[in-house]
Amino acid sequence: MYAIVEINGQQFKAEEGKKLYVNHICGAENGQTVEFDNVLLIDNNGDVKVGAPTVEGAKVVCEVVSPLVKGEKVLVFHKKRRKGYRKLNGYRHQFTEVTIKNVIA
């Protein structure tokens, strides 16, 4: 059984026991239980329910494993040719690691 759920503007495939790295959830603490009720699709062993826009009564229960995980460094390089202008900037995106406890249909 799996579900397609929208978390912070992005869609994820949620299965029990699976770990997800979602956009940073403000105020999340280690070990906290979080519920997402914006479920778009549920597949229960071939029985597919598609929401319009969401499936009523469905939710995904998650546990926060790590509230702040930094992603890989992204380098942004600007250059203007023949002008001697070069600028290098970089950042690391912030994620929250969650584990799917169960999917309720």
Using one digit for the tens of pLDDT, what is the confidence trace for 42-59?
999 999 999 999 999 999
Does pLDDT of 105 surpass 90? no
What's the average model confidence in pLDDT over 57-79?
Answer: 96
Using one digit for the tens of pLDDT, what is the confidence trace for 74-98?
999 999 999 999 999 999 999 999 9
From the number of C-beta atoms within 10 Å of its C-beta (0-12, 13-18, 19+), residue 10 rates as exposed
With CA atoms as reference, report the closest residue to 102 among 75, 62, 64.
62
Q: What gap in Å lies between CA 32 and CA 53, rounded to an integer?
A: 28
Could you tell me which residues are beta bridge partners of residue 6? 11
- Model confidence, pTM: 0.82
Using one digit for the tens of pLDDT, what is the confidence trace for 1-26?
999 999 999 999 999 999 999 999 99
Looking at residue 19, its amino acid is K
Q: What gap in Å lies between CA 77 and CA 7, rounded to an integer?
A: 30
What's the average model confidence in pLDDT over 49-75?
Answer: 95
Boundaries of every domain in the chain: 2-67+97-104
